[in-house]
């Protein structure tokens, strides 16, 4: 443990998770580490939930994280009804239900905004930060584990800090992090990253030792999510994407090495990166948020030279591989605060190719990534907006149908807008590719309906679009009373298909 807690005076702060959890009081705002179930605190939230369940004490907190965190935090605190307000992204089933049942307030935020909102005071006072770490340096610097997320800013602004030293996380992670917090406006300095592998900060998160109120030692592992096997539809989508990128190289809009890639999370995203492994591209670079199994494959094979992200979230097998070969990956991966991994300035500068997943798209190219049928929160916008708005090429992928074909993922009008027609350049389904760059709304509609819609729904979309064009205003033709009728019909009858 001396290897991990190198500051001798801090060793007196070691206590049990139960004792540390007593620092959490009703009404507090608590910011934690964690990004896409990795590197989040586990022992303290579990202790808090247990205490509330056994004593019946009333504790409601605002819970701010980097992105999604594991069941020990989001699951246990929502089941114990401890979360009053939650931001900015989640994927936990219990929490999703809790949000959709109206038990807590949920702010779905662009991930790059969270640290600066917190720093500017837009989110109120941060009473406590709970941060998972692999160690603490002699000076009190916190060495983060498998994710950086918002930890640097939360530590900077919180009144007190609880550190969870997780001994299941290898100490060799030390050196992978590059911590940099931008200065305050109005004279912000340029962030000096001009290459994916530039290091601009410190390998630990600076922290005033006097703020560290408790250190808890635990070995609970990250509750990583299994990845669904790559299905045929995802494979076809990935094939279309690779054809599209090859075409861009052929016409001289991209070099053979492409530009740095960002890829979202989930099965399609994983399949897309898997497809790159078999492609002819070489010497790829990734400037992304989350490093998943397929990214490790790309690094292993030498296809990709370097990956910058804010968290490592491999599957259980991936995690074993990562830990066994950590010294190999250490030269090829940098973990940055999400304010930097998702920063518009750098995304624009590096010319990122952003690939994200839609729940549904409409005929004009607007994207809904968050709200099923316009009202049921799925996960959140995550970093997809940060990347999409600022990318060199922004791409969305989605299967053309959902729920065994009863839902068309291409609809007349999306029931919730996350990414507008102004930001979306390319749409890909298993049916094909719609390259929307330089096209007007009506030109886009024709291409999306012809190239991306499922054959079952294509005639219905054509019919809608033709009739809409007969309405008075012809720039973005719509029939408002019918635009959301597909969703309405699904809710009433369980299908968007034409009823007999």
Give the binding site for ligand 0RQ (CB under 6 A): 36, 67, 89, 111, 264-268, 289-290, 356-357, 359-360, 369, 372, 378-379, 381-384, 402-403, 407, 409
Instruction: Please identify the residue of the shown chain whose CB is closest to the bound ligand 0RQ.
Output: 382
Are 388 and 354 contacting, i.e. CB atoms less than 8 angstroms apart?
A: yes
Which lies closer to ligand 0RQ via its Cβ, residue 47 or residue 367? 367
Query: What SS3 state is found at 199?
Result: coil
Binding site, by residue number, is 264-268, 359, 379, 383, 403
The string of DSSP letters for 360-417 reads: EEETTS-EE-SEETTTEE-S--TTHHHHHHH-SEEEEE--SEETTTTEESEESS-SS-
CA distances from 372 to 17, 25, 358, 380, 482 (A): 38, 35, 11, 11, 18
- The residues with which 432 forms a beta bridge, in sequence order, are 429
Tokens for 39, please give them: 């590197």
CA 154 – CA 108 distance, rounded (Å): 18
Q: Nearest to residue 344, comparing CAs of 390, 383, 384, 381?
A: 390
Query: Is 289 designated active site?
Result: yes
Which lies closer to ligand 0RQ via its Cβ, residue 23 or residue 460? 460
Q: List the catalytic residue out of 72, 248, 289, 339.
A: 289
Which lies closer to ligand 0RQ via its Cβ, residue 169 or residue 357? 357
**Least distance from ligand 0RQ to the Cβ atom of residue 159, Å:** 27
Which lies closer to ligand 0RQ via its Cβ, residue 29 or residue 379? 379
Tokens for 469, please give them: 């064009």
**Least distance from ligand 0RQ to the Cβ atom of residue 360, Å:** 4
Sign of CA dihedral 416, 418, 423, 426: negative
**Least distance from ligand 0RQ to the Cβ atom of residue 481, Å:** 21
Which lies closer to ligand 0RQ via its Cβ, residue 128 or residue 358? 358
The 3-class secondary structure across 247-288, one letter per residue, is: HHHHCCCCCCCCCCEEECCCHHHHHHHHHHHCCCCCCEEEEC
Nearest 5 degrees, angle CA 307-CA 311-CA 314? Answer: 85
**Least distance from ligand 0RQ to the Cβ atom of residue 352, Å:** 13
**Least distance from ligand 0RQ to the Cβ atom of residue 227, Å:** 10
Binding site for CoA, by residue number, is 264-268, 359, 379, 383, 403
- The residues with which 395 forms a beta bridge, in sequence order, are 355, 426
Which lies closer to ligand 0RQ via its Cβ, residue 75 or residue 382? 382
- Burial level of 10, CB count in 10 A (0-12/13-18/19+)? middle
**Least distance from ligand 0RQ to the Cβ atom of residue 171, Å:** 26
DSSP assigned state of 189: P
Instruction: Please give the positions annotated as active site.
Output: 289
């Amino acid at each position: 443990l001396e290897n991990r807690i190198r500051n001798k005076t801090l060793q007196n702060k070691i206590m049990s998770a139960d004792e540390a959890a007593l620092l959490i009081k009703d009404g507090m705002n608590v910011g934690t580490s964690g990004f896409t179930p990795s590197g989040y605190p586990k022992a303290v939230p579990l202790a808090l939930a247990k205490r509330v369940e056994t004593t019946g004490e009333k504790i409601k907190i605002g819970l701010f994280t980097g992105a999604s965190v594991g069941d020990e935090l989001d699951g246990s605190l929502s089941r114990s009804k401890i979360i009053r307000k939650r931001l900015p992204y989640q994927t936990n089933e219990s929490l999703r239900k809790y949000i959709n049942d109206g038990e807590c307030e949920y702010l779905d935020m662009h991930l790059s905004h969270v640290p600066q909102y917190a720093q500017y005071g837009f989110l109120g006072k941060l009473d406590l930060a709970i941060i998972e770490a692999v160690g603490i340096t002699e000076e009190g610097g916190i060495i983060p584990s498998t994710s950086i997320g918002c930890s640097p800013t939360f530590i900077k602004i919180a009144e007190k800090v609880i550190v969870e030293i997780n001994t299941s996380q290898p100490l060799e992670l030390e050196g992978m992090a590059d911590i940099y917090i931008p200065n305050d406006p109005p004279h912000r300095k340029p962030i000096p990253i001009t290459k994916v592998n530039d290091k601009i900060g410190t390998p630990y998160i600076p922290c005033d030792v006097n703020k560290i109120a408790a250190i808890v030692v635990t070995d609970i592992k990250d509750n990583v999510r299994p990845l669904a096997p790559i299905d045929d539809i995802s494979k076809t989508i990935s094939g279309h994407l690779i054809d599209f990128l090859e075409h861009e190289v052929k016409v001289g809009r991209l070099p053979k090495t492409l530009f740095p890639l960002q890829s979202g999370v989930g099965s399609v995203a994983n399949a897309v990166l898997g497809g790159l492994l078999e492609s002819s591209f070489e010497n790829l670079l990734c400037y992304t948020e989350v490093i998943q199994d397929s990214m490790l494959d790309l690094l292993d094979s030498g296809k990709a030279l370097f990956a910058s992200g804010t968290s490592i979230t491999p599957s259980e097998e991936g995690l074993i591989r990562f830990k066994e070969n950590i010294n190999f990956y250490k030269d090829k991966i940098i973990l940055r605060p999400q304010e930097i991994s998702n920063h518009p300035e750098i995304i624009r500068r590096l010319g990122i190719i952003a690939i994200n997943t839609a729940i549904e798209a409409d005929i004009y190219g607007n994207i809904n990534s968050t709200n099923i049928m316009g009202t049921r929160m799925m996960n959140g916008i995550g970093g997809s907006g940060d990347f999409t708005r600022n990318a060199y090429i922004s791409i969305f992928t989605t299967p053309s149908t959902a729920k065994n074909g009863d839902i068309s993922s291409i609809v007349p009008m999306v029931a919730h807008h996350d990414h507008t027609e102004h930001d979306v350049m390319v749409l890909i389904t298993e049916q094909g590719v719609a390259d929307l760059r330089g096209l007007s709304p009506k030109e886009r509609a024709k291409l999306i309906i012809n190239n991306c819609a499922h054959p079952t729904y294509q005639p219905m979309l054509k019919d809608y679009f033709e009739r809409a064009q007969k309405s008075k205003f012809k720039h973005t033709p719509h029939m408002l009373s019918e635009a959301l009728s597909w969703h309405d019909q699904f809710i009433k009858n369980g299908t968007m298909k034409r009823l007999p």
